[in-house]
A and B are shown apart, each in its own frame.
Chain A
Amino acid sequence: MNCPEVEILLCDYFDGTLPHPQGIALEEHLAVCSACAELARDVEGATAFLDVVPVADPPAELLTRILHQAPRGAQKSEERAPWWRRLFGGWVENVLQPRYAMGMAMTVLSLAMLARFAHIEPRPLHASDLDPARVWQSIDDHSHRVWDRAMKYYDNLRLVIEIQSRLKEWSDQEQTAGVSGAASQQTTGGQGSEKTSGTAPPRQTPVQTNDKR
């Protein structure tokens, strides 16, 4: 018998389930192997110590907490889900919660109040309003009207007007400067001088220069 075998067989030896011949062999090994003898002493001592350790009982409130989470009746997973949950998935459940329903009701109420203050008179709905062609025409008409209003509003903004007028001023100034530069070049060229005029604008677009040439 070797040391690794002893390490395993010690369990059965202390349990009293080790067959007699193996027990004798183990005791003979312990008598000659000090390391295994020490192991056996430690194992025996620890087992004796563990015997006096009481059971760790859970607090009573833990039992109550666990039972509170226990399923009621048949397990939910076994129940067949309703058709709307199978069709739309779990998000419908969230939408149908009372808080969302209350939120939607408050939104409708707020919009109704705003419409009343803005003097928007609700018109009763007729069957002819549901005609697809008419619905499309109405959507198209409304979308164009909204677009036109948005563009008009944008154009009438003070900031936009100022920016546009400033851009126009710059453009006019550049054009004017281009014309005067070309004129002065022609004047100096006529006098036979190769020097460029000191009054020429520092930024002159090549396009404009070419045009003037």
Chain B
Amino acid sequence: MATVAIPAGRWTWVAPHLQARTGDRLDADAQLVERCLSGQDAAWEELVKLHSRRVYSICYRFTSSDAEAQDLTQEVFLRVFKNLKSFRSGEGLFVVWLTRLTRNLLIDHYRRTRLERATESLEDQAPALEENTAMMSRTEGMLAGREASELLQSALQKLSPDLRETVILRDLEELEYREIAQVLNVPEGTVKSRLNRGRAELARVLRRHKVRI
């Protein structure tokens, strides 16, 4: 397996209205990490419970597979257990460090499975989307949560990895632009540009399948 490189974070100016929230998260996570490193078993459990949902959600939205998302989430936390010492609380948020770790693993996984995906028949995926579309056109009102989730999964797979990860991190995981920029190691303007292009592409895919948005 390829190694996950975690470059040192680049820090930018933090807006005053975000400083309180960022400071709280910084302190809470830093304390939790300290407790983990000091050998408190309960701290590990707390860390996993607190962050496993986010990691799983990112993996699931990116891969669109529950089994792959579970495996990747497990792998992420294995790396967290091994490399937690390399996290420096003074250099940034634990959430950003963890998300960057997750994202790097996802990109490795994406590259590794590219050939498998290329050999998969497109017809295999089309029926699922068609079924969803038929279901959506039948329901005239607001989309039900689960149906919307399945439809989003199908649509997200049509986006390029760059646009997909940006949309997931902002619109589903609600990270700040600055945090996404640190995770992806790109300027904040690039994040915003990718995000809007991703959203627009997503809207076009959904509309193509007769979803009213």
In the complex, A75→B47 CA distance in Å? 15
Which A residues are in CB contact (< 8 Å) with B202?
Answer: 46, 49-50
B143 interface hit (Cβ, 8 Å)? yes
With most chain A CB atoms within 10 A of its CB, the pick from B195, B203, B204 is: B203
Q: Please pick, from A41, A46, A47, A58, the residue contacting B73 in the complex, using a CB distance under 8 A.
A: A58
With most chain B CB atoms within 10 A of its CB, the pick from A7, A9, A50 is: A50
Distance in angstroms from A113 CB to nearest chain B CB is 47
Interface string of B34-63 (1 = CB under 8 A from A): 000111010011001100110011001100
A72 interface hit (Cβ, 8 Å)? yes
Q: Please pick, from A54, A73, A74, the residue contacting B146 in the complex, using a CB distance under 8 A.
A: A54
In the complex, A39→B193 CA distance in Å? 11
Q: A8-B189, A75-B85 are in contact. Are A70 and B48 (CB under 8 A)?
A: yes
Distance in angstroms from A137 CB to nearest chain B CB is 56
Interface string of A56-92 (1 = CB under 8 A from B): 1111001101110111111101100000000000000
Nearest chain B residue, comparing its CB with the CB of A11: B192
B196 interface hit (Cβ, 8 Å)? yes
Please count how many residues in chain B sit with their CB below 8 Å of the partner chain's CB atoms.
51
Which A residues are in CB contact (< 8 Å) with B26?
Answer: none
B203 touches A69 (CB 8 A): no
A52 touches B45 (CB 8 A): no
Distance in angstroms from B159 CB to nearest chain A CB is 11
A55 interface hit (Cβ, 8 Å)? yes
A66 touches B189 (CB 8 A): no
A56 touches B78 (CB 8 A): no
Which B residues are in CB contact (< 8 Å) with A67?
Answer: 44-45, 48
What are some 6 contacts across the A-B interface (CB < 8 A)? A38-B200, A42-B199, A55-B172, A56-B60, A62-B70, A75-B37
8 further interface pairs, Cβ-Cβ under 8 Å (given A75-B37, A78-B37) = A39-B196, A43-B200, A45-B206, A52-B142, A65-B74, A66-B48, A67-B48, A70-B41
Partner-A contacts on B (CB < 8 A): 37-39, 41, 44-45, 48-49, 52-53, 56-57, 60-61, 66, 69-70, 73-74, 77-78, 81-82, 84-85, 142-143, 145-146, 148-149, 152, 167, 171-172, 177, 189, 192-193, 195-197, 199-200, 202-204, 206-207, 211, 213
Partner-B contacts on A (CB < 8 A): 4, 7-12, 38-39, 41-43, 45-50, 52-59, 62-63, 65-67, 69-75, 77-78
